[in-house]
Amino acid sequence: MISCGIVADQNPIKKEAHPGKVVPRKIALAIFNGTDTTMANAMAVALRSEWTPDVDIVRVGDEPAFAFYPPRKRWIADSLLVFLERNNGGRYLKMAGISSRDISTRKGEVENWGVMGLGFCPGGACVVSSFRAKPGTQGFLLRMRSLLFHELGHTFGLPHCPSMGCIMEDAKGKMTLDGEKSFCYACRKRLQDMGWLRIR
């Protein structure tokens, strides 16, 4: 499911298996209906200031019906990732979805676990949700930024990081996103060595 283009994604100068087709270097901020556009614009600015690929804001309509989980009125994040990858059509390096819905995934024994975001690790898509990020309260944009950078980090192959305070730290279901977070030295270096994060 996530094999196509993954190896190429790790290196900006590598080409896809199809001869002559260069892997695009743009990230799509894929906005589902209902997403706060002011927040989405702020995320585009945050991405451009720290990451090297350019960013397009792309509208992808409603969350697809096949992702809906009626018992909890949630949308299955894994299905949203599949939907986003299908909507890419080879145009974007990554599809980074933003939803306002309550999203969830399976976590161990728990069939339906509410999450703030999910990303293939590595892969072509991630999704973040504002539902649990307390929209309209202080620090909302910074929380969304941390969430987006975390999930995008996964798509570039970064696992969870044991360094306290690192953006790639495992949230373990808690809200540990407050404040302006950054990548620890090791995670930052990995992304910079691959050419995806600006050197500051």
151 is catalytic: yes
Please give the backbone phi and psi of residue 197, each rounded to the nearest 5 degrees, phi first. -115, 140
Query: For residues 84 and 127, is the Cβ–Cβ distance under 8 A?
Result: yes
Closest CA to 98 of 29, 178, 10: 29
Which residue matches tokens 């080409």?
A: 15
Stretch that binds Zn ion, among 20-28, 75-83, 101-109, 154-162 (CB under 5 A): 154-162
187 contacts Zn ion (rule: CB under 5 A): yes
Interface with Zn ion: number of residues (CB under 5 A): 6
Of 66 and 185, which CB lies nearer to Zn ion in the complex structure? 185
N-term to C-term CA, the chain: 35
Stretch that binds Zn ion, among 26-34, 91-99, 127-135, 162-170 (CB under 5 A): 162-170
Phi, psi (deg, nearest 5) at residue 97? -80, 145
Catalytic residue among 50, 63, 85, 151: 151
CA angle 39, 44, 49 (to 5 degrees): 125
| Cα 157 to Cα 192: distance, rounded to the nearest angstrom | 13
Is 161 near Zn ion (CB under 5 A)?
yes
Residue 103 interacting with Zn ion (CB under 5 A)? no
Residue 41 vs 163, nearer CB to Zn ion:
163
| Of the residues 45, 163, 165, 179, which one makes contact with Zn ion according to CB under 5 A | 163
Decide if residue 27 touches Zn ion (CB under 5 A): no
> Which residues, numbered 117-146, are part of the site for Zn ion (CB under 5 A)?
none
- Report if residue 96 touches Zn ion, rule: CB under 5 A: no
Residues in the chain: 200
Find the helix packing angle between 140-155 and 37-50, rounded to 10°.
50
Region from 54-62, 78-86, 105-113, 185-193 binding Zn ion, contact rule CB under 5 A: 185-193
Question: Given the rule CB under 5 A, which residues bind Zn ion?
Answer: 161, 163, 166, 168, 184, 187
